[in-house]
Amino acid sequence: MSSTISPAQLRQQIRAGSHQTNTSGYCPGYVQANVAILPKDWASEFLQFCQRNPKPCPVVATSTKPGDPIITDAAADFDIRTDVPSYRIWENGEMSGEVSDIGDYWRDDLVTFLLGCSFSFEEALIADGLEIRNITEGKNVPMYDTTIACRATERLHGNMVVSMRPFKPADAIRMIQICSRFPDVHGAPVHFGDPEAIGIHNIDSPDYGDAVTLKAGEVPVFTACGVTPQAVIMAAKPPFCITHSPGCMAVTDIRNSQLSVL
């Protein structure tokens, strides 16, 4: 893992096919984003869904018009067809392929969405001296399906997926303050404490990612998760859709600090 190269240098490697794996730990200080690419007729509804559910679906950047593969909001030269390490192709809600370049799949009606990811706020928490358990333990953050309903649109509906990080209460209060500054990367948590209250029956058995240690005196703190929009889209089974492969994010030129509203 090299953390010294710039986002532009990393994207150059990705574009050249020499980096096709996850982007965790690369380019600290810069926003990494979840990717969703949808045909125009689904894109407008998805944007409405994001507007109604900003905590799980914070839109950081979009293409300026359908069919345009250059996402200037993310970086002047960001080409969504080549600049993500790995993509998943979905047809009618089923994954039909995993590729490192979507040039062959590109269409004039595709709209790109980059959605904020927890890497940005985790960096701010660590900079403040807080311990992020999934990072300390070298695991993927544990994620859980919940009974918290998203606000639906005509075809898009479902429950929120949340990530969980354990903190002592005083640290949880600080975490809430810091995350509140970052509405574009999920913002303040949605719940803490009793997992059952949001429909999580076994904290040691996450629906996605890995379980982490919950120490005595700590409470689980639950944050809206970027897996939510993917799960909602897949459940709606649009005829065509492209996402990033898990952990293989869009690495942008946007600085994490620029997402802070305060």
Give yes or no for a contact between 14 and 82, defined as CB atoms under 8 angstroms apart.
yes
Interface with a second copy (CB under 8 A), residue from 149, 152, 197, 235: 197
Does residue 192 belong to the site contacting a second copy (CB under 8 A)? Answer: yes
3-class SS of residue 162 = strand
Signed CA dihedral, 145, 149, 150, 156: sign only? positive
Does residue 15 belong to the site contacting a second copy (CB under 8 A)? Answer: no
Q: Which stretch binds a second copy (CB under 8 A): 34-42, 87-95, 109-117, 190-198?
A: 190-198
Main-chain dihedrals φ then ψ at residue 250, nearest 5 degrees: -80, 120
Does residue 180 belong to the site contacting a second copy (CB under 8 A)? Answer: yes
Does residue 1 belong to the site contacting a second copy (CB under 8 A)? Answer: no
Cα within 13 Å of Cα(13), Cβ side:
16
Q: Which stretch binds a second copy (CB under 8 A): 80-88, 129-137, 173-181, 242-250?
A: 173-181
Does residue 16 belong to the site contacting a second copy (CB under 8 A)? Answer: no
- What Rg do the C-alpha atoms of the chain give, in angstroms? 18
Give yes or no for a contact between 144 and 209, defined as CB atoms under 8 angstroms apart.
no
Does residue 129 belong to the site contacting a second copy (CB under 8 A)? Answer: no
Does residue 177 belong to the site contacting a second copy (CB under 8 A)? Answer: yes
- Indicate the residue among 16 and 262 with the shorter CB distance to a second copy: 262
Q: Which stretch binds a second copy (CB under 8 A): 35-43, 68-76, 169-177, 206-214?
A: 169-177
Does residue 166 belong to the site contacting a second copy (CB under 8 A)? Answer: no
Burial 175-188 (b: 16+ CB within 10 A, else e): bbebbebbbbbbbb
Does residue 203 belong to the site contacting a second copy (CB under 8 A)? Answer: no
- Indicate the residue among 190 and 241 with the shorter CB distance to a second copy: 190
Does residue 189 belong to the site contacting a second copy (CB under 8 A)? Answer: yes
Does residue 201 belong to the site contacting a second copy (CB under 8 A)? Answer: no
In the chain the first and final C-alpha atoms are separated, in Å, by: 32
- Indicate the residue among 74 and 221 with the shorter CB distance to a second copy: 221
3-class SS of residue 146 = strand
- Cβ at position 112, least distance to a second copy in Å: 32
**Residues 76 to 95 in contact with a second copy, rule: CB under 8 A:** none
Give yes or no for a contact between 86 and 99, defined as CB atoms under 8 angstroms apart.
yes
Signed CA dihedral, 62, 49, 158, 256: sign only? positive
- Indicate the residue among 37 and 130 with the shorter CB distance to a second copy: 130
Does residue 194 belong to the site contacting a second copy (CB under 8 A)? Answer: yes
Give yes or no for a contact between 3 and 26, defined as CB atoms under 8 angstroms apart.
yes
Cα–Cα distance for residue pair 209/46, rounded to 1 Å: 25
**Residues 214 to 243 in contact with a second copy, rule: CB under 8 A:** 217, 219
Binding footprint of a second copy on the chain (CB under 8 A): 169-170, 172-173, 176-177, 180, 188-194, 197, 217, 219, 262
